């Protein structure tokens, strides 16, 4: 998804710079923003569940050392999920700025 959204942002920036802005581009951008927002919500839910289960495993470490293994495993996945989510969030917010730039260029 990172490569896809980055490529799309580059295309948008090139079109804005060349003043090749049309109503079709605005409509397409709104549709893409909607798709990226759905992706963002899905990854937010996944990240929150990973964080919840990680905290649950950490809370039960004193019951069994097996929970420590699961907690470490979950942390190893939680950190990349958080990084991915925040990068996706930043890119979607940048798309908002590009849309405003396109909208105000009329």
Quick one: pLDDT band at residue 106, thresholds 50, 70, 90? low
Instruction: Write out pLDDT tens, residues 31-88.
Output: 999 999 999 999 999 999 999 999 999 999 888 889 899 999 999 999 999 999 999 9
The pTM for the full model equals 0.84
Return the pLDDT at 39: 93
98: nearest Cα among 4, 11, 35: 11
Digit-coded pLDDT (tens) for 7-34:
999 999 999 999 888 999 999 999 999 9
**Contact (CB, 8 A) for 2 and 83:** no
């Amino acid at each position: 998804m990172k490569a896809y959204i980055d490529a799309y942002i580059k295309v948008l920036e090139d079109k804005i710079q060349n003043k090749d802005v049309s109503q079709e581009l605005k409509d397409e951008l709104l549709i893409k923003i909607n798709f990226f927002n759905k992706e963002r919500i899905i990854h937010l839910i996944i990240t929150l569940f990973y964080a919840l289960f990680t905290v649950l495993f950490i809370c039960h470490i004193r019951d069994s050392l097996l929970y420590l293994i699961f907690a470490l495993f979950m942390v190893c996945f939680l950190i990349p999920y958080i990084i991915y989510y925040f990068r996706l969030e930043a890119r979607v917010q940048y798309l908002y700025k590009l849309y405003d730039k396109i909208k105000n260029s009329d």
